[in-house]
Amino acid sequence: MTRPKWVPAGTDLDKPNAARVYDYYLGGSHNFAVDREMARQAIALWPDLPMIMRANRAFLRRAVQYVAEQGVSRFLDIGSGIPTFGAVHEIARETIPDARVVYVDRDPVAVAHSRLLLKDDPLSAVVEADMRDVPGLLAQPAVAELLAPGEPVAVLMVAVLHFISDEEDPERIVRQLHQAVPPGSMLALSHAGLEGRPDQAGPHQDLYARTPTPLTMRSKDRIVSLFNGFELVEPGVVYFSEWHPENPAAVEPHPERLVGMVGVGRRS
């Protein structure tokens, strides 16, 4: 396969990549035939998957807009994947033109793609780090620089904590981040939930168990507990379409169908 100009040298074009598969679900162009085939296999098992991914991305957009409107101009996007198709820096700068963003991902392919895409953006940086090691993540120069002025930071953990097992303790990860950011900082997260479609929990988790990133779906109470230390913004932890919808009348009658819950909190 001929390597497109946007693909970093050394990228394996013959194996599917989670970040590029996600890009495909969103309707992006940074993916290959092998990624699209993996996505089609997943959709055959889980037909609502593209709708869930798009609802997740729509929440990210609304959350970033909300946070920027509160005057927060620094963003730490953990588990960012490839920042295309409505990336955080583009959304934030619609409100704050000089918003700074640090993208963090542990996938070297996603990091390499991201650095290539953002090489001419002085206000954005890309870091390869694993959120399981919060001290190591915080020690990265770009992250330390983002936090150094002591200004509020928006920590984005969108569709990532359900890839952290109970043994790896997602509450610990959020607690350590809470301790690292100043008052006024905000946390936005989305998480695969058990409420609404409990009959689907087993198949969904079985699907991801076949991949290098197994999924742990959690109850609403458990997702709420991830916000310990943060004051939840109204309406609290809710289904995707229920959080600050652009058109309240357009909220679907069965938002639980998308088996995900979201919320935004503020550090006091």
CA distance 118 to 124: 7
Q: Mean pLDDT for the chain?
A: 88
pLDDT for res 48: 80
The CA distances from residue 57 to 5, 70, 132, 147, 158, in Å, are 26, 20, 23, 25, 8
174: three-class secondary structure by DSSP: helix
94 pairs with which residues across the strands? none
Which pLDDT tens digit goes with each residue over 105-163?
988 878 988 898 899 999 999 999 999 999 999 999 999 999 999 999 999 999 999 98
CA distance 4 to 197: 41
Q: Which residues lie closer than 8 Å to 32 by C-beta, 6 or more apart?
A: 1, 13, 20
The CA distances from residue 116 to 128, 141, 221, in Å, are 14, 19, 40
Which pLDDT tens digit goes with each residue over 156-186?
999 999 989 999 999 999 999 999 999 999 9
Residue matched to tokens 């088996």 = 259
Q: Of all helices (H) and strands (E), which one includes residue 266?
A: strand 260-267
The domains found in the chain, sorted by start residue, are: 50-267 (3.40.50.150)
261 pairs with which residues across the strands? 191, 239
For residue 27, is pLDDT > 90?
no
Compute and round to an integer the Cα radius of gyration of the chain. 18
Q: Which residues lie closer than 8 Å to 247 by C-beta, 6 or more apart?
A: none
The total number of residues shown for the chain amounts to: 268
111: three-class secondary structure by DSSP: helix
24: three-class secondary structure by DSSP: helix
Which pLDDT tens digit goes with each residue over 53-77?
889 999 999 999 999 999 999 999 9
Give strand ranges (E) for the chain: 74-78, 100-105, 124-128, 154-158, 186-192, 230-232, 238-239, 260-267
CA distance 49 to 199: 16
The CA distances from residue 166 to 18, 172, 212, 214, 222, in Å, are 22, 10, 16, 12, 11
CA distance 201 to 94: 37
Tokens of 222: 């458990």
